[in-house]
Amino acid sequence: MLKIFYLIILLSSIMFSQQIDFQSPENIKLFADFLFCDNDYLRAIDEYEKYLVAVDDDLVQFKITIAYSSMNDCENAINKLGLIKKTSPFYEQSKIELLKSLYLQNIDSVFYAVAETLINSKSLYANNAYRLKNTALLLSKTELPEKESFLIPFEVEEKKTISDFYNLKKNPPYKSEALAGVLSAIIPGSGKIYTKDYGDGITAFLLTGLFTYLAYTNFEHDHPTRAWIFAALGAGFYVGNIYGSVASAQIFNAKVNFEFNEGVKLFLEDKKYFTPNYDFCK
Amino acid sequence: MISASKRILLFIFGSLTSVFAQSTLEQQFKFANQLFTHEKYFDAITELKRLQFFDIDNKFSFQSNYLIGKSYKAGAKFDEAVNYFTRAEMNSENDDDYFTSKIFNARTNILRRTTKQAEKILNELLNDPRFISKEKEINYWIGWNYIFSDEWEKAFEVFNENRLDTTLAELCKTVDDEMYSVNFAKYCSYLIPGLGQFYTGEYVSGTLSLGWNILFGYLTINAFIEDRVFDGIIIGNFLWLRFYSGNIQNAEKFAIQKNLQISNKALDYLQYQYKGEKP
């Protein structure tokens, strides 16, 4: 009789233990890890936050910052990175992650100050910070240091690309706005050809020439009204073309800047902003 | 040899543990379903994903994927919705489940205007002998797909021929009748400048177009008659031809614009006033 009683107790306790406690910290963490690796960061953050109420976990705290960072929510990422304790095994990583988020938010004095602090520290990621700072310099209006010292922190395989960026930044292939205007004043359309706007340049040349010729022949054959109309049209095209050539040079230069900036940003993206690789989802 | 009583005990133990695990999953599904009913779609998706994560035996695969799809659809996250309806389709256990997930997949594709994809799914269902009895429903969504493809005449034919919905059939017919023929507007402006604009109700623009073309046509022809060939070429090329081609483009643009207004008005009615089932 006593045996059966014990058996029932044992059986019922085992049976109830088979029920899944979805809200136990372990299960919350397991589920959050699944969401994190499924790139469902918003839900993963919610679950991790729930888990942190019960358990103090440095890894989870760090993963929350990575989740925010992956969603490009720099503000929250920065706030959460500030909460990583010095004793955390992810403290070093949190510094370079902070620098990345600051860079994505805005390249300003705070970014440079944090970068300098990290570079001058004995951090494992001091060189990463140095590389990120120098690459960010390419996107700012600050004067660049000497090429040799600028290239120091970069790896051998990065040096060629960075060196090309450096040269482009120092000597951008801009077109002079004044020269474009002067050229078009001398030969209509030549300013646009100088800014590589060949189609517009040839059209401007032909139209200005045509209206000038029409005005000239109409004056010659004593048709003053028509001659003045063509003269006005010709003058309009002439002046408009000079203005257009200056604008074309400005557009050309804006394009050069845009392509340069995009190139640098793509390079940084490709390099993951010099942050370490994490194997959270292996 | 295990005695009979021990066997019975083991059997009870085995079946009860599985029943208890199952019941917690069942509860979780009910909870998620409740969230969905209360339009808390974000939370519903979280709870359904939780259910999927712990449902090792994939007992709730179809239901969870299907409901996640519906939640994403309700939140206008159509790409994700299509993804989960496809998963539901792959996990369907019977023809009804398969049909429902396919139909929802098509409806989401209609809403995100990937109408070619919706057409493909609906045609597959239409050609599937298992769903002959559901032909009406499939055709109903085919009609809607035509509406979202801006093919109102075809939509009318589908609704009318299959006697699906008289309101929708009438609406499609009205819209189709009101629509302007873009080609007619364009080509009649080739013949008489301004006629395309008159056809689309843009009388001022039509009159101006006609006036400019008459003026520059006259000047061009006059120049040629007076042997001023160069003047004729210049006026003809830079003024008459410019206004003539502009008139054709203008007529085409007006027809497209007016058609867009008509179809937008109809879609607006369907969104806010139509009481029947919508994608």
Question: Residues B240-248: contacts with CB within 8 Å, 24+ apart?
Answer: B240/B213, B240/B216, B243/B193, B243/B209, B243/B212, B243/B213, B243/B216, B244/B193, B244/B213, B246/B209, B247/B189, B247/B193, B247/B194, B247/B196, B247/B197, B247/B209, B247/B212, B247/B213, B248/B186, B248/B189, B248/B190, B248/B196
Query: Closest Cα to residue A17, out of B255, B258, B20?
Result: B20
pLDDT at A37 over 90: yes
Residues B36-63 pLDDT 10s: 999 999 999 999 999 999 998 889 999 9
- Model confidence band, residue A16 (pLDDT cutoffs 50, 70, 90): very low
Of B13, B18, B24, the CB nearest to A20: B24
Task: Measure the CA angle with vertex B263, ends B262 and B266; round to 5°.
Answer: 90
Angle between helices A156-170 and A224-270 (to 10 degrees): 150
pLDDT for position B276: 87
Hey, what CATH class is B9-112 in? Answer: mainly alpha
Name the region of A272 (left: φ>0; alpha: ψ -120 to 50; beta: rest): left
Residue (of B157, B137, B172, B129) closest to B263 by Cα position: B172
Taking CA–CA distances from A30, the nearest residue in chain B reads B53
Q: Whole-number mean pLDDT of chain B?
A: 90
Chain A contact for B23, CB < 8 A?
yes
Express as a percent the part of chain B with pLDDT over 70.
Answer: 92
What percent of chain A has a predicted confidence (pLDDT) above 70? 94
In degrees and rounded to multiples of 5, residue B200 shows phi and psi of -90, 5
Give the DSSP letter of residue B128.
-
pLDDT at site B228: 85
Q: How far is B259 from chain A (nearest CA, A)?
A: 35
Q: Give the contacts of A187 (CB within 8 A, at least 6 positions apart).
A: A205
Nearest to B234 among A16, A20, A214 (CB): A214
What is the rounded average pLDDT of the residues A253-281? Answer: 94
- CA distance to A42, A66, A100, A279, per residue, from A59 (Å): 17, 10, 19, 12
The H or E element containing residue B68 is: helix B61-74
Q: How far is A20 from chain B (nearest CA, A)?
A: 6
pLDDT per residue over B67-122, tens digit each?
Answer: 999 999 999 999 999 999 999 999 999 999 999 999 999 999 999 999 999 999 99
CB contact under 8 A, B13 and A46: no
**What is the DSSP code (8-state) at residue A211?**
H
Confidence (pLDDT) at B162: 76
Give the pLDDT confidence of A58-100 residue by residue, as tens digits: 999 999 999 999 999 999 999 999 999 989 999 999 999 999 9
Chain-chain contact of B45 with A16 (C-beta, under 8 angstroms): no
**Out of A158-162, A277-281, B163-167, which region has the weakest mean confidence (pLDDT)?**
B163-167
Whether residue B20 lies within 8 A of chain A, CB to CB, comes out as yes
pLDDT at B9 over 60: no
Q: In chain A, where are the structural domains located?
A: 177-266
Q: How far is B231 from chain A (nearest CA, A)?
A: 9
Q: What is the pLDDT of residue B1?
A: 46
Taking any CB pair shorter than 8 Å as contact, residues of chain A touching chain B are 7, 11, 14-16, 18-20, 22, 27, 30-31, 34-35, 40, 43, 46-47, 210, 214, 217, 226
pLDDT band at A275 (very low <50, low <70, confident <90, very high): very high
B34 touches chain A (CB under 8 A): no
To the nearest whole percent, how much of chain B has pLDDT over 90?
A: 79
Domain ranges of chain B: 9-112, 116-178, 182-270
In this predicted structure, what is the pLDDT of residue A226?
84
Which residue, B64, B52, B130, is CA-closest to B101? B64
B54 and A22 within 8 Å at the Cβ level: the answer is yes
For residue A35, which residues of chain B lie inside 8 Å, CB to CB? Answer: 49
Model confidence band, residue A114 (pLDDT cutoffs 50, 70, 90)? very high
The residue with greater pLDDT, A20 or B265, is B265
| Distance (Å, whole) CA A228 – CA A52 | 83
What integer pLDDT is reported at residue B163 of this predicted model? 77
CA angle centred on B75, ends B70 and B78, rounded to 5°: 70
The Cα–Cα gap between A253 and A126 comes to 35
pLDDT bucket at B5, cuts 50 / 70 / 90: low
Return the higher-pLDDT residue of A10 and B167: B167
Query: In the prediction, which pLDDT does B166 show?
Result: 83
> What pLDDT, on the 0 to 100 scale, is given for residue A7?
56
The three-point CA angle B31-B37-B40 to 5° equals 80
Of B20, B46, B231, the CB nearest to A18: B20
Query: What's the average model confidence in pLDDT over B160-188?
Result: 89
Read off the amino acid at residue A93.
Q
Give the pLDDT score at A242: 96
Chain A residues near residue B13 by CB distance under 8 angstroms: 11, 14-15
| Residue A17 reports pLDDT greater than 50 | no
Cα–Cα dist A220/A89, whole Å: 90
Instruction: Assess whether pLDDT exceeds 70 at residue A2.
Output: no
Predicted pLDDT of residue A3: 62
Contact call for B28 and A22, based on CB within 8 A: yes
Residue B22, judged by CB atoms within 10 A of its CB (0-12, 13-18, 19+), counts as: middle
Model confidence at A195: pLDDT above 50? yes
Average pLDDT of every residue of chain A: 90
Name the residue facing B17 among A14, A35, A226 (closest C-beta): A14
How near does any CA of chain B get to the CA of A148, in Å? 49
The helix-helix angle for A109-120 and A126-139 (nearest 10°) equals 150
What is the model's pLDDT at position A221?
Answer: 87
Residue labelled with tokens 């008289």: B166
Q: Which of residues 36-55 of B touch A (CB under 8 A)?
A: 45-46, 49-50, 53-54
Does B18 have pLDDT greater than 60? no
**B114: region left, alpha or beta (phi > 0 left; psi from -120 to 50 alpha):** beta
What's the whole-number mean pLDDT along residues A222-242? Answer: 91
Q: Determine the pLDDT at residue B46.
A: 95
Report the pLDDT averaged over residues B199-214: 93
Nearest residue to B259 (alpha-carbon basis) of B203, B210, B201: B201
Tell me the C-alpha distance between A7 and A282, whole Å. Answer: 42
pLDDT exceeds 90 at position B213: yes
